[in-house]
Amino acid sequence: MTDSEEAPPRKYSSPAGAAKVHTISLGGENLQTGIVQASKVVHTQKLHVGPLPSASDLEAYSKIGKNGEVLDLILAMARKNNETQNDTAYRAQWFAFLSDISRTFIGLIFGLGCLSVAYKLAIHDHMYVAGIVATTTLLIGLAVLVIRTLPTKAGPPSLSKNDEK
């Protein structure tokens, strides 16, 4: 560009709806400023959330193919997806139940083993050691039962600093 050519106008928008147009020449001469009324544009957006398309989209899909075979395909896929989600939820509940039962069973075996050791120690005249083992075992078992009845916080998992990067 030479000194006699002007730069393209810059348009700035204000919150009031007016726009200022600045024209600046490169030579420093003829600084012009004007105000132009801005036009407002309104956009509308339709949002549909769900496992199936909206009713108007389903109606349009029913017109595609012979006797609405595309709509039947969409509905069959939705049914299959629903069955898969139900099976996954059932499996997750079943594995959580098995995990809980197995932990309870292992804890019960451990506690009974410690109590049987305390009993054998008591039979062989080691009363103090048997009392310590039995008391500790019973206190741990009671603490586990109390902790299991406390409500847990149900919230999103926290991110560690490594996950945020």
State pLDDT tens for residues 25-38: 555 454 455 555 55
Rounded percentage of the chain residues whose pLDDT exceeds 70: 68
State pLDDT tens for residues 75-122: 898 899 999 999 999 999 999 999 989 888 888 898 889 889 999 999
The rounded distance, in Å, linking the Cα atoms of 92 and 95 is 5
Strands 18-23 and 10-13: antiparallel
